[in-house]
Structures are given as C-alpha cells and as structure tokens.
Amino acid sequence: MTEVRRLHLLLDRHTALAVVSGFSQRCARPGTQANRHDLALLTEELLSNLVRHVFPFHPQAKARCRVQIRANGTARVFLRADGPPFNPMVDGTPGYGIALVRSMVSSYSWRYRGGTNRLLVGVQV
C-alpha cells in the first residue's frame, strides 16, 4: 500500500515554516522507525530551504509537496515550486541542511519547465 502526504504552500515565510514543521511531523507517522525520522527530516530540509531561498523574492509563489511511501521500502518526495530556476541540490548556500539531504537521498532529478521547479528525490525508508 502506498501512503501519500500532500502539502500546498502559499503563505508568508513565518507561517510557512510552521506548516512545514507540521507536515514534516505527519510524514513520520505512523510508527516510530528511524527511517520515518529520516523522511520527516528530508522533507523539512527541502521545504525550509525553499522557504528561505524562494519565498523572500517571490512571496506569492506556490509550492506543492507530495510524499509517497511504498511497500517496497522506498519513498519519493515530489516538490514543485514556482519562481526562478532553483535546484536545491546544487544552488543556494551550502550548509548543514543540504548536507543532510545529500546524505539521505538515494536518487534525485530536477527540471525547470514553464516557470516551475520540479524536484523528485528518492530515499530508502
């Protein structure tokens, strides 16, 4: 069975961070396995990175996040965000957040089309 979590962001920065925090917590449920912790952490880092780098310049930008947890022990995080081209895996300021993402992600793809960034990352859970 595939679990899906969805999030739509169109908020000011402070509220967005609170929503990201709540969404990240939901990704960790149910269960208390460490791998769910990693999924919550990965989601928070990707989304908070987006809030920091894109929303200040494009406060009306929309972002959507979808998390799929598969029965085969993998999960996929889809992130779509309006705004200028921004690949969180290579752009932005290097820091602990992106270092955590890189350490957890098993695969990723990014493309920019029609003014929208589309990021897909895979992770073992």
Partner 1 sequence: MPVGFSVVPKDVRGRMEHNLLVDRRADGTTLLLLSGRLDADTAPQVETWVDQVLAKRPWRVVLDLARLDYISSAGVRILLKCRKQQQERGAQCLLLHPQPSVRRVLELLQLLNAEMFDSEADLDAYLDSVQRDPPPATED
User: Distance between CA atoms of 55 and 44, rounded to whole angstroms?
Assistant: 15
Q: Considering the complex, what minimum distance in angstroms separates the CB of residue 97 from partner 1?
A: 4
Kindly state whether residue 68 participates in binding partner 1, applying the rule CB under 8 A: no
| Secondary structure (H, E, C), 34-57 | HHHHHHHHHHHHHHHHHHHHCCCC
Residue 105 interacts with partner 1 (CB under 8 A): yes or no: no
Should residue 96 be labelled a site residue for partner 1 when binding is judged by CB under 8 A? yes
Residues 23-62 that bind partner 1 (CB under 8 A): 24-25, 34, 37-38, 40-41, 44-45, 48, 51
**40-to-13, 30, 44, 111, 122 alpha-carbon distances in Å:** 20, 12, 6, 23, 13
Residues that bind partner 1 (CB under 8 A): 17-18, 20-21, 24-25, 34, 37-38, 40-41, 44-45, 48, 51, 95-97, 99-100, 103-104
